Amino acid sequence: MQWLQLFIYLISLLILKTAAQIERDENGYIAYCPCMGRFGNQADHFLGSLAFAKALNRTLILPPWVEYRKGEMRSRQVPFDTYFEVEPLQDYHRVILMSDFMTQLAAELWPTAERVSFCYMERKSLQQEKNDPAAPNCHAKDGNPFGPFWDTYSIDFVASEFYGPLHFDVHHSAIASKWQNNYPADKWPVLAFTGAPASFPVQHENRSLQKYLKWSRKYRESAREFIRNVLPRGAFVGLHLRNGIDWVRACEHIKDSQQLFASPQCLGYKNERGELYHELCMPTKEAIVRQLKRTIKNVRQTQPTNEVKSVFVASDANHMIGELSSALSRMDISVHKLPEDDPYLDLAILGQSNHFIGNCISSYTAFVKRERDSHGFPSYFWSFPREKERQQAKAHEEL
């Protein structure tokens, strides 16, 4: 009996080992460093990179998320599946975790002597003595997070490839076939980009790909647990407030810009719904309170059976818990935040709120908005439209 159990055990191990083998994609792979900005920007770039990989019919190597911790000089690389599931992405296109690619395929498919970095044009080195005019280079590992990112997987590059004038807009041109002709998979099995092969902010055509980006089990359950155990029973409004010093400085560019960061999500990609204004980026505390109270009153009037009982706030600095609690005290509505900062759990909770108000300029808000759009959940933006325009529209409707 024991030998039979041992035999079954060994057969099971063999089956598992065989199933774990990853087949090589003869169509090639795309790798890239998500080296611009923090999570919101990286998420925009990810959706564009996913669309780009599908258009070229290459497997997308899922990069880790690049994070920056206070007091640490080098960025941290957090595995993609820490926050999001891999399997749902397969419903759209072929993907593979970077760790799996490097451990199971890279040695044979992408040997160290053949690793080439791709960039549009020469990227100057941060160390001037490295700049050799006779040898233009992508300098793919110069600086942070570039160096730490590739070092995480012990990747060094032996050469550079400049792909200009090719671009990444696969929706409005035949550029995909040009990529395939210039870089066939049999000669270029891996296209490794120094940055994401995508535009920022995310192209309108790629916004819907958010529906394939599903939270990992850990974050789904943590969000449900917080909503169930901390927030009172009933509907809740999710708020995203940007008011840290970095954001204050970013808003100073409003006066010199037609678009800023994720502003097309409310203004339109061609400003067809208006121009930038300062309150859109940095609404006053008074305006925030007025809009929140107005939203809650509208919900109570239109959805009396789904009454708002609480507000959840995510912020990079001031959550305004005291101000909001005071303003909503007569409405019997409580205001909450996470006990410890976790921007990813904030996102997961905001995505599940019954109503959401975010910052039009913020790519972090844009992530929440896209997720909610995929479920048909309502979302609004601070100070959009302007209060005067809203009042005029209301007066017009009454007339």
Look up the CATH number of the domain holding residue 129: 3.40.50.11340
The answer to whether residue 211 is domain-embedded is: no
Q: Is the pLDDT of residue 396 over 50?
A: no
Average pLDDT over residues 196-221: 98
Domain boundary among the residues 159, 174, 205 is at 205
Which uninterrupted H or E stretch holds 106?
A: helix 106-109
Tell me the pLDDT tens digit for each residue of 125-136.
866 555 556 578
Cα 311 from Cα 305, distance rounded (Å): 17
The answer to whether residue 335 is domain-embedded is: yes
Q: What pLDDT was estimated at residue 380?
A: 98
β-pairing, 65-67 with 76-78?
A: antiparallel
Q: What pLDDT was estimated at residue 399?
A: 34
Identify whether residues 190 and 253 lie together within a single domain: no
Cα 337 from Cα 346, distance rounded (Å): 9
Considering its fold, how many domains does the chain have in total?
A: 2
Q: Which of 81, 94, 85, 119 is nearest to 25 (CA)?
A: 94
Average pLDDT over residues 303-322: 95
Q: Residue 142: which domain range?
A: 24-205
Identify whether residues 90 and 169 lie together within a single domain: yes
Which tokens is 232 given?
A: 């009172």
Looking at residue 326, which CATH number applies to its domain? 3.40.50.11350
The single-letter DSSP state of residue 63 is P
Taking phi over 0 as left and psi of -120 to 50 as alpha, with beta for the rest, 383 belongs to left
236 neighbors 311 (Cβ within 8 angstroms): yes
Write the burial class of residue 307 (CB in 10 Å: 0-12 exposed, 13-18 middle, 19+ buried). middle
Q: What pLDDT was estimated at residue 398?
A: 43
**pLDDT band at 52, cuts 50/70/90?**
very high
Identify whether residues 260 and 347 lie together within a single domain: yes
**pLDDT band at 18, cuts 50/70/90?**
very low
Q: What pLDDT was estimated at residue 137?
A: 95
Q: What pLDDT was estimated at residue 140?
A: 97
As beta bridge partners, residue 312 has 238, 336
Share of the chain above pLDDT 90, in %: 85
Which tokens is 171 given?
A: 């929706």
Identify whether residues 62 and 194 lie together within a single domain: yes
The answer to whether residue 58 is domain-embedded is: yes
Q: Is 241 helix (H, G, I), strand (E, B) or coil?
A: strand
Identify whether residues 162 and 267 lie together within a single domain: no
Cα 122 from Cα 137, distance rounded (Å): 5
Distance of CA 232 to the CA centre of its chain: 30
Cα 306 from Cα 349, distance rounded (Å): 18
As beta bridge partners, residue 97 has 62
Identify whether residues 168 and 221 lie together within a single domain: no
Q: Is 269 helix (H, G, I), strand (E, B) or coil?
A: coil
As beta bridge partners, residue 95 has 60
**pLDDT band at 7, cuts 50/70/90?**
low
Q: Is the pLDDT of residue 6 over 70?
A: no
Q: Is 290 helix (H, G, I), strand (E, B) or coil?
A: helix
β-pairing, 59-62 with 29-32?
A: parallel
Tell me the pLDDT tens digit for each residue of 93-120.
999 999 999 999 999 999 999 999 999 9
Domain boundary among the residues 151, 184, 205 is at 205
Taking phi over 0 as left and psi of -120 to 50 as alpha, with beta for the rest, 202 belongs to beta
